[in-house]
Amino acid sequence: MAPIIKLAVVCILVGAVLLIGPTVGFSQLEADRGVTVQTATDDSAFLEITDRSATASLSNAVDTTAVYDLRMASESLSENTVDTTLLSVIDGQGSPVSATALETVPVADGTDDVSLLVQCVTEGGIADGSYTLEIAMQATGSGVTVDAVRSTGTPVPISCGEPPTDEDITVIEDEPGNVETTGNVTVENGNDVNGDVSGGGSVTLDNGASVSGNISSGGDTTVSNNGNVGGGIESGGTVTINNNGNIGGGITAEGDIILTNNGIVNGDVISYNGNIEISNNGEVRGDVIAHNGTVCIGNNAVVTGQVIAGQGTC
């Protein structure tokens, strides 16, 4: 009986190896038969997932913020069939709170990319704070279903409070606190905002104007000559930093980022769907990343971190 027992053990071990070894290959080979594929890493051959929680925030009940980008890496998948579910919301003390106060919304851009947005369901539905969000994602296509679950790498600041005014705001004298509107914001020459500036449209700092905190804009952001921002900039459009502009934090933008002569950015410069241009003598004290665009660096410009360009450098 000893030889038979040994043979059985060998068969079991070989069977285990066969089951464990080709799991990924099986998913790829059998995808056209309707097999569900579970993504294991963000650089999956089917679905690429980029965590954007480090720059995400909800400031009021009508605000939205992108927490993930999804790219359909396989032609078998369709950006128009992405479904998402908010599974849990964890507060700063590690305790779960009701997930019904928030919802996830996948928004396709027509180029195989999907931005996964989070928004409030009702005003005041959740206490102000920073929360870790666990989200289930599913992308389907021609005989393929890809499922993934992610928890945001960085807690997301969330407020579902009363929305701001929808009127354009022009700061004509020093402002002691935050400035917030769903319209446009302009800080006129030489004036200072001692706080954050949030505009649903464009945000413009005229020559010599300054903001001690952060800038968030749904549209373009322009910092004119000798302008200063104490924090970082998050923009839904193009960011332009003119001559001698100084940014205390990093810059993230959906569109182009242009840093003109002698401008300084004390952080990473990241464009998700545009190009990045750093002109002569500009300085970026961090990484420069154009996910889907080019990076151009002028004479005597300095970048202390990595340069990553989805469409190459010039």
- Give per-residue pLDDT as tens, 211-263: 999 999 999 999 999 999 999 999 999 999 999 999 999 999 999 999 999 99
Cα distance between residue 181 and residue 219, in whole Å: 12
Higher-pLDDT residue of 222 and 139 is 222
Q: Where are the domains of the chain?
A: 35-158, 169-309
Tokens of residue 272, six digits: 């998700």
4 pLDDT band, cuts 50/70/90, is very low
Higher-pLDDT residue of 35 and 134 is 134
Which of the four CATH numbers 2.60.40, 1.20.120, 1.10.3470, 3.40.1350 does domain 35-158 have?
2.60.40
SS3 117: strand
Handedness of CA 73, 78, 80, 86 (dihedral sign): negative
Quick one: pLDDT at residue 45?
Answer: 64
Residue with tokens 């989805």: 310
Cα distance between residue 148 and residue 166, in whole Å: 37
For 11-58, the pLDDT digits (tens) are: 333 343 333 333 232 223 233 333 444 443 444 568 889 999 999 999
Residue 164 pLDDT exceeds 80? no
Residue 146 pLDDT exceeds 80? yes
Cα distance between residue 258 and residue 240, in whole Å: 5
DSSP-assigned letter for residue 90: E
Quick one: pLDDT at residue 36?
Answer: 45
Q: What is the mean pLDDT of residues 289-302?
A: 96
What kind and span of H or E run contains 18? helix 2-20
SS3 7: helix
Among residues 14, 72, 81, 79, the alpha carbon closest in space to that of 47 is found at 72
Cα distance between residue 241 and residue 227, in whole Å: 8
One-letter amino acid for residue 209 of the chain: A
Residues 262 and 246 sit within 8 Å (Cβ to Cβ): no
Handedness of CA 260, 261, 263, 267 (dihedral sign): positive
Q: What is the mean pLDDT of residues 77-89?
A: 87
Among residues 174, 200, 195, 173, the alpha carbon closest in space to that of 185 is found at 200
Residue 85 pLDDT exceeds 80? yes
> pTM to 2 decimals?
0.56
Cα distance between residue 218 and residue 78, in whole Å: 27
Cα distance between residue 258 and residue 301, in whole Å: 13
Higher-pLDDT residue of 143 and 243 is 243
Cα distance between residue 304 and residue 283, in whole Å: 8
161 pLDDT band, cuts 50/70/90, is confident
| Whole-number Cα distances in Å, 197 to 93, 226, 230 | 29, 18, 11
Cα distance between residue 271 and residue 275, in whole Å: 7
